[in-house]
Structure 1
Amino acid sequence: MFSSRDIQEVFGIKSKKTLEGVIKKFVDENILTRLEKGKYLLADANISDFEIAQFLYSPSYISFETALNYHGILSQFPVEITSATTKFPVQKVIQGKLYSYSKIKVNLFTGYYKEKNALIAYPEKALFDQLYMIAKGVKTEEYLDEMDYINIDKNSLNEYMVLLPENLKSKISGYIGEYL
């Protein structure tokens, strides 16, 4: 995966018009696949949705329903690839898939690991992020009854609580008490 700028640097292209022509030729010849303006991948590349999500909008990490499903906590497969970001919330439809980015505070941008070229929330952090968005009124409680909490480490989950203001701590503690 790479940007127009990467192509420009690799081929030493100076002119914007020449760059556009080279990119168009590569796309037309199925060498490149255009993800969105200025972002491409090799047409035959085997790139995961998680890696694409990371590339499309950064900084971000896979979280919420997608990470909960990935870790086996939520059995329903989400209809979108959900990520946390410190930037503005945004949704993008790329190659028929919905990529959704929800904004969290900078101090909450933690609790993830790298797998291949994607950052993925740990199970407890994905659940924490989900509860955080529910407490803020951004997401609904619809999936909470359907989750399998057996492998959630409550102590790890509670470690994230220190990052919250008091009003959100009490709301999230209520959810933890009810569901875990």
Structure 2
Amino acid sequence: MESIPARETIKRLKVAKISLFTPTTLQQILNNQNYNTIHKTLMRLESQELIIRLGKGKYRLSDSTVSSFTVGNFLLQPSYISLETALNLYGILSQFPYISTSITPLKSRKVNTQGIDYEYVHVDKSLFWGYIKTDDYLIANPEKAIIDTLYLASKGLRGANYNEWDLERINKPRLISYAQKVRYNPFQKLFAKLLLI
């Protein structure tokens, strides 16, 4: 198949409002099913610095402005921003995390791209809920970020300095309702301590 010029490829991605993409996305945009052509197109775009390779099969337009949260969701799907990152964003945790933390039902992993560290922490599929779409990324709502953090702390996988948290703006009925969905005794004991502060 005939290759499409680099500028035309970029134009098509921009018209479709796509800043982050995979080879499959590019195939759809270019109406091209030939893998070799797509691979060569990606290599050409990367060598001309029109795109940036974020990881295996994950790309970003060089001149696009995409939030690190959006990139975090894109690098590993499904995932949503949670834990320290969400707690800080909501003003619950005052300390600024140096790693963008997310929850996933997939295997835990760490990724570094463009100087940003992303951490994906595994939870069972039954706990993969309580997130919302904000702008163009998925993030735990404040109460679920607390539940995620306490759950992982109760398993000994993470610390939770809940004495330092600002819980003033938390929807306590929702928090309690969420906690009741977690059927794990060590979590329930830790959650009971949180309610006492």
TM-score (normalizing by structure 1)? 0.91
Output the amino acid matched with 2:23.
S
Shift of 1:126: 0.4
C-alpha distance in structure 1 between counterparts of 2:61 and 2:103, whole Å: 26
CA deviation after TM superposition for structure 1 residue 69, in Å = 0.6
1:20 Cα deviation from its structure 2 partner: 2.1
Please report the RMSD computed on the Cα atoms of aligned residues, expressed in angstroms: 1.6
2:84–2:101 contact (8 Å) kept in structure 1 = yes
Matched, 1:16 2:16: no
**Aligned equivalents of 2:61 and 2:140: distance in 1?**
27
Q: Is the 8 A contact 1:107 1:163 kept in 2?
A: no
Amino acid at match of 1:23: L
Secondary structure, aligned partner of 1:88 = coil
> SS at 2:64's partner residue?
coil
Deviation of 1:118 after TM superposition, in Å, equals: 0.6
Please tell me whether the aligned partners of residues 150 and 191 of structure 2 are also in contact (alpha carbons under 8 angstroms).
no
Superposition deviation, residue 166 in structure 1: 4.5
Structure 1 stretches (4+) deviating beyond 4 angstroms? none
Q: Identify unmatched segments of 5+ residues in structure 2.
A: 1-19
Is 1:159 paired with 2:177? yes
Aligned to 2:45: 26
What secondary structure, in the 3-state scheme, does the structure 1 residue paired with 2:163 have?
A: helix
Rg larger for: 2
Task: Give matches, 1:1-180, under 5 Å.
Answer: 1-141=20-160, 143-178=161-196, 180=197
Unaligned runs of 5+ in 1: none
Once residues 73 and 135 of structure 1 are traced to their aligned partners in structure 2, the CA distance between those partners, rounded to angstroms, is 19
Q: Tell me the amino acid that sits aligned with residue 52 of structure 2.
A: T
Highest RCO, 1 vs 2 (Cα 8 Å, sep ≥ 6): 1
**Deviation of the 1:81 alpha carbon:** 0.6
Q: Please give the alpha-carbon distance, in whole angstroms, between the structure 1 residues aligned to 2:136 and 2:184.
A: 35
Number of residues of Structure 1 aligned to a counterpart in Structure 2: 178
